[in-house]
Structures are given as C-alpha cells and as structure tokens.
Structure 1
C-alpha cells in the first residue's frame, strides 16, 4: 500500500510540473492543496487519470486534488517525503488571501468567519428536529401519552438545547470576526455578549410587540441584538481593527489594561448607538429581499435555487448563503433554503450514480459510485469535479434534476429546522413533523430520479468518454 501511494505521489508531482513548480503542500479532510508557481505547467488530465484521484481543480491560488478521507493523509505524507515543501492549511490560507479579485477575497472572508460557527448551528437544528419529533402528538400516542402530559421541566431543557446558539449568536460571530481580522477572540466574545446583555430589551420581544426599545437622546433606538448577524459582523470587524491600532500606540506597560478597556468601551458604544441601528435596517432589507425571492409563486424560487446552486458551488462563492440561512433560522427557527439546495446536491449524486452504473470502465465505475454516495451524504465535490463536470452533460442533467426537486420543495413551502446538512443526514432537519419529512423524501427522490434518468438516457455513454478522454 505504501509503495502504491508513493508511486501516485511521484506521478502527481510530475503532473503538476515537478518539485520546482511546487511552493507548498497542505491537506484538509478530503483534498491535497498544492500551491504552484506556474499553473500553466499543470497537466490536469494526467492528474485526474491517477489512481485514487477523484477530481482536481484550480481555485483561489491552489491546485486542489480530491483523494477522499484517509487517503489524502497518506498521499500527503508521500509527497512531503519526496521533497515537496510542507505548509499548514492556515499558512496556505494566509497566502491565498492575497490572491483573487476583491470580490473573491471578500467571499473567502465570509467563509472564514461563518464556517467555524456552522457545527453548533447544525447541532441546534438537529436538536430542533428531535424536539419536534418527541413532542409530536402521533409519536406520543404510540407511548400512550399526549403533548399536554410532557413535564414543563423537560420543555425548558429542550429550550436550552435549541435556543442558546441563536440567543448568543452575536457573540459567536464577533468572536470569529475578531479571530479572522487579527484581534483577540476573547474581546470579540465579550463584545458580542454585550450586544445581547439581558438588561437590554430583547430583540424577539420587541419584534413581537411585548417590549419597547430604549431611546437615547430621544431618537436612537437601543435594543438587544439576539439573532442578528450584520451588526455583530461589522462590530467584530471594526473592533479587531481598533484593537490592532491601539496596540501599536498604547505603551507596553499599559497595554494589558488600556487596550481591552478602550476597545470594548468604544465598540459597544458605537455598536449600540450607531452600528446596530444602521445595520439592523440593512439586515432587514436584505432579509426582505431574500424572503421575496424565496416566496416567488408557482415554485419559481425552487427552480432557480435548486437548478443553479451547484453551479455557484463551482465558483466557490456559495459561502455567502450561510449569512442568509443563519438569519432565516434566527427569524423563526425554519429554513426554506435548505430544502432547495438539498435538491441540487442530491441531483448531482443521482447523475454520478447513473454514470457509475452505465459505464463499462472499471476505474470510472470505482470513482463514480463512491462519489455519488458522498453526494448523498452532502459532499458533492468528488461527484462534480471527478465525474459530472468532466463529461459536462451529467453535470447539466444534475442541474435539471436539482431544479425539478427544488420546484417541488418550493411548491409545498418545505422548510428545515437547521442548516449545513443535506440529503441523507438532512433528513434529521425534517423529522419535526411527519408531512415535512414525507415532502423532504419526495424532494430527494424527484431530484435524484430526474438527474439519474436524464443522465442514463442522454447524459453519458462510454463513446462520449472515449472522445473526451482521447
């Protein structure tokens, strides 16, 4: 096995232009990330033909080769052993931040801030789904009880599980923003917690009309910012910049005392009286626009989002959607966007599965079928870059399948209780009520079925493979 991996590593190094063309090599869970000096020296077709390679593409200054979980670690070891310079993923991130246009760098920054928060929001969504399941009247009836018989203490316990992340969401965002922009994360946490301090009128209570804002100077409304994203993001960005500026000017002997004091004093004043009121309005406008798009009649939103989402994933700018999903969940605990993107993801898996079952090529079959399973677990890169985009038509059929599934989901206003998990794992976001679970399953069946059928009939043949692979 080691000899096989070493041979793959040798051939990979040769295919990317040799050791002299490699600046550094790092890896994540599934991909080998290679910083190259001249991307024109990369023979991508040769890379994609290597054993164990499930796809390869160049983006954001990196040549990324998909090997899959476990395999990538072993290939990385061999590449480094052969003399390629090693770097950490974080060091490569610092380098890639310098590359790309301003819009690409901005979107990468959004990703760096929101991606670390997603795991707790995934957990929260699962808690919401499970609470909905165990409090369903039909489920309780199986055990001879009713929702009214559930102890109040149990309901309070479930609220701790489902409400905490969104009640303190600004603290999570401010922490992450400080971390990304070079400030002290602990100051970011405290700044975010100040935005949701219980002495401030609760944002949800104000929105429901159960509480009134505090007015300073008679016209500046001050409330807590529970569930808000943009005010905490802007406060975190400016706060980190302010802290760095202060550290360069405050005497070292006073830095420990004055820098955190001034940063928090200036930023919470600005956040409550200026940033919060202004960017809450901006946030409301964005969410109103998003809601209008998601509520387009006759399933149009599903056609658009389900059909185009995976096209956007290729560009790498899909992290911007995390902002919308987080805000949708913060608004009322439900996320209609999840069902629409699930359709797009499932459909790419369906297209890859059709290729894998139809082809006579043992290597392509060994690549396509595992890639489809990966897509059904919510990860489409192997299916997209390793199979569907390689032959183009399967990818297009996947887009059509995604549009069909998304259309169905939008037509029935299907909404999940969380975000960031889709297809098979995403089922847990819809168990809060039986009708939603059934609709979710039908959505996936439609998306996979349409993509699979179209790919089988029109999207792939081994003759096409021979022509495209030369």
Structure 2
C-alpha cells in the first residue's frame, strides 16, 4: 500500500513535504522525474520511464483525486491550493538529467488495453484501467500536428490562469463595492489592482509564446509590448490609425510567433561574434514592423468579429447554441479540440471583461456529476465503484471532471453519452436566459463548477448572474441524472456491475 501522509495534512510545511515524499516512490523515484509543473488543479509530472510508475498505488494515495496519462506526462489531480504547495516540494527532489523521449506507442502498450480487462472485473480498479487505456488510445490517435499545435497554444495561457482568477475576483469585488456605494475611496484602488494585469496581458502572452516555441522569451514579450504601447495611436495602417491594445492576445500571439521565427532564422545565419547585437535587433525590428503594419490590424478585426459573434450567438440563438456547446464540450475535451477555445475566452475577457461561453461550457461538468450520481444509485451492490464516485464527487462539483470521466462514465460507455445530454440541457437553459437578456459570463478561465461562482459577472448584477448559473447547474445535474438512470445502463450491464461486489452493511 502507498504510504499515507501524516495527519497534519497538506496545508502545513510538514504536510506538503509528506505528500511529495509519498508521491516520489510511486513515480519511480527522484531519478525518474524529468520535469515537475502545475496548473490550477493538476500536478504535471514528466517521467523518464513510464513503466516505473506505480499507477494503482498512485490513484489510491489519499489526497489524489485522479491520475490522467498524457503521453510521457502524468497529470495528478490534487485540487486547487494543494497542488501549488506540493509542486515545489516535489521539484526539490528532482535529479538533473536529460529526459528520454517516449513514443505514444510505448505509452499505449504500457496501459492495459480495454479488451484485456476480464468481463467480470467490474471493480473501480478495472474501470480505472479501462479509462487509462481509452485515454492512451485517444492520445495516440489524436497525436496530429494540428492538435499538438493547439496543445502548445494552451500551454501559453495555462500559466496565466492564476493571475486571471485573482484579478477577476478583485474586479468583481470592486464592482460590488461600486454598486453598493460602499467604501468609495477603495473601489478605484481595487479597479487598478484588477486592471493592471489585463492591460499588459499581451506582454505575458508574447513572453510565454516565445518560450513555448523555442525563442527567447523576453524578445517575444518585447515585440508583443508594441501592441499595448500608447504611442501606436500615431501609426496608420490600411488607412486607419491604430489604437493601443488593438489585436489583443491574438495579435500578441501572432507577433511572438513571428518574432520566434525571425530569431531562429537569424541564429542560423548570423556569425556568433555578431549574434548578440544583430539577432535581437533584427528580431524586434522586423517582427515589430510587421506587427504594426499588418498583424495588429488583422488581429483587431478578428477579435472584434469574435466579440460580435458571441453577442449575436446568445442574442439570436442562445438556446440552440447552449445545447450544442454544453453537449459537445466533453467530446471536444477528449479530442483535444477544446484548447482552441482558450484564446477565444482570453479575447472576450480582454474585450468585454468576461467570457459568456465559459458558463455554458461548464454545464458539461454538471451533466457529468448528475450521471455519476445516477450510476451511484443504480449500482447499489458495487461498493468499489460507489466508493470511487464518492471520493471523486467533491472534485466533480468543483469542476474537476477527469476522475469521474476516466474512472466511471467513459469506461462504462453509455453514462458518458448521457452525461453529455445533461450538459446539453444545462447549456440550453443558460443560453435561453442569455437570449432573454440575462447574460452571465466569467471574468477568468480555468475554474468550473462551484468554483466559478466568485468569477461570475452578468448584465443585471452579480445576484442575477449567480442565480442563472446556479439554476443551470441544477438543470445539468437533474438532466444528467435522469438520462443516466433511465438509459445509461442496460439490464445486462446492471447485472454484471452489481455482481462486482457485495453490498456493505451501511448500504454502500
């Protein structure tokens, strides 16, 4: 069995170190760690030898909400707050050394194929193995250049999520104080705290873009900074004067990509003795001029079109759009196509202060929760699967859906489809109210489920936005539950699954 963390939990210094110490041997030891990073809820660990990872014990470790395999990387779901404290503790144990490449085929063969799982093995462990096999198969099938590009685009924005969340909550607090006419002297200060990052987000996007695509990060940031420089209003492109911030994150992304290409071209051709002078100069000059006289204008038109399209979508067809978006989001996540939405969310937040798409897409998680609850009720004699659902449900309510998806609904098959049905009805409800004028948006990306409540913003105030979003969650829960209870499990599946374990005396 995996060692348990001490009783003081992950909040204190001892607790953080104990969680990292417990994870270390299960990941193959310090020598097996190639990189350790974290996003808002997940610990992202790249290992040199995937076969050395003790996956079963890792999933069973207290505090681990789920484990998702992503090529040579493991995404260990620890939840918000905890992961930010555990990641640096685990990184301290890393040993320097080159990471070995691992092919998608190696990862796929490492996982237990779904066909190898015996028909009678319907415990939570068997479902987890099926889920891991499905994800590995999808990962290998989806390893196309286009999806790899989308994954790298997503990696540009993931490090920005904590700042987006913090600034979004501060902006909401400033708006609340202004609406209630409380502490009038403090509201402008809070607005400044919330708006400073957003006014310079293009610089951070440019920096991360160059870093992700192999350029010098500060050069990517320098070129992207042109977009937010106040003096661009003296430049005319295509017969129009430019405005500071025109093009936003899309322009910054394109400018930094161009800067990276120019820099790498120079590195191959400029003599080493002149490289330190020539390469940065040419990179900033060429990429900067193209940004001013082309990219800012084009990206500005694209960003404006995105904003207008989102507004028209909800105003004229919010119900249908919500049904489609809420119902298809989970399959999009499986295919990796959801990453294309991240720049769109960021563009809407920069333009309008919030993204109206995220609350609709969050309904997919509500459908998943409802489906898992129905499976819990139907499998009254399978204590193993019910225990998995109970342990993963708090994370699901907070919008962390992987443990329920890959541990329950996707391995079972039909419950995944009925979870999408629940998400579709929840999305349709939020879209319908948006069509009627009660729009609700999120001031940041990243959180979902209940964790999205502090980031909500609406056209009729925070109270209405919370009510609309909360009602949408309830519709998603209910629709996912009813669809799964009625159609998610066949009679044969129920007999097989309920034969997987004896009913406990407590009913679990």
Deviation, structure 1 residue 292 = 3.9
Instruction: State which of 174, 194, 209 in structure 1 corresponds to 2:206.
Output: 174
Match of 2:450 among 424, 431, 448: 424
Does the CA-based 8 Å contact 2:327-2:427 persist in structure 1? yes
After the TM superposition, which residues 148-227 of structure 1 pair with which residues of structure 2 at under 5 Å, given as runs?
A: 150-151=183-184, 153-201=185-233, 214-215=235-236, 219=239, 221-226=241-246
Cα distance in 2, alignment partners of residues 125 and 48 from structure 1:
38
CA gap of 1:58–1:35, structure 2 versus 1, over 3 A, is farther
Distance in 2, matches of 1:357 and 1:215, equals 65
Q: Is the 8 A contact 2:48 2:101 kept in 1?
A: no
What's 2:411 paired with? 390
Give the match for residue 205 of structure 1: none
Once residues 276 and 116 of structure 1 are traced to their aligned partners in structure 2, the CA distance between those partners, rounded to angstroms, is 24
Task: Give the C-alpha shift of residue 175 in structure 1.
Answer: 0.7
Give the C-alpha shift of residue 383 in structure 1.
0.8
* Corresponding residue for residue 240 of structure 1: 260
Query: Does the 8 Å contact 1:48/1:386 carry over to 2?
Result: no
1:443 to 456, 472, 479: 472
Unaligned runs of 5+ in 2: 6-22, 87-93, 105-138, 502-508
Q: Hey, what does 1:284 align to over in structure 2?
A: 304
Q: 2:425 is matched with which residue: 395, 400, 404?
A: 404
Correspondence 1:452 to 2:481: yes
Q: Report how far residue 426 of structure 1 moved.
A: 0.4
Alpha-carbon spacing, 1:91–1:272, altered in 2? closer, same or farther (3 Å): farther
Check conservation: 1:125, 1:162, Cα contact below 8 A.
Answer: yes
Shift of 1:440: 1.4
Distance 1:131 1:94 in 2: 48
Change (3 A) 1:341 1:326: same
Relative to structure 1, is the Cα distance of residues 287 and 430 closer, same or farther in structure 2, using a 3 angstrom cutoff? closer
Q: Of the candidates 313, 317, 342, which is equivalent to residue 322 of structure 1?
A: 342
* Matched residue, 2:165: 122
- Aligned equivalents of 1:67 and 1:279: distance in 2? 35
Question: In the TM superposition, what is the alpha-carbon distance from 1:33 to its structure 2 partner?
Answer: 6.1
Give the TM-score taking structure 2 as reference length: 0.71
Q: Which runs of 5+ in 1 are unaligned?
A: 14-22, 75-84, 141-146, 202-212
For 1:340, the equivalent position in structure 2 comes to: 360
Residue by residue over 1:278-306, the C-alpha shift from the partner in whole angstroms, topping out at 9 and shown as x without a partner, is 33233434444444444442511110111
Calculate the aligned-residue CA RMSD, in Å. 4.2
- Whole-angstrom distance in 2 between the partners of 1:184 and 1:63: 25
Contact 1:307 1:399 in 2 (8 A): yes
The change in CA–CA distance for 1:63 and 1:159 in structure 2 (over 3 A counts) is: closer
TM-superposition CA deviations, 1:30-68 (whole Å, max 9, x none): 57767889xxx9xxxx97998569777765x45858675
Cα distance in structure 2, aligned partners of 1:248 and 1:116: 30
Q: How many residue pairs end up in the alignment?
A: 423
Give secondary structure in 1 for the equivalent of 2:236. Answer: strand
Check the 8 A contact 2:209/2:220 in 1, yes or no.
yes
Distance 1:265 1:129, change over 3 A: same
Change (3 A) 1:66 1:191: closer
244 and 178 in structure 1: CA distance in 2 versus 1, 3 angstrom threshold: same
SS of 2:405's equivalent? helix
- 2:325 pairs with one of 266, 289, 305: 305
Instruction: Give CA deviations for 1:126-175 in whole Å, capped at 9, x if unaligned.
Output: 12222223333xxx4xxxxxx2x743x42321221222222112111111
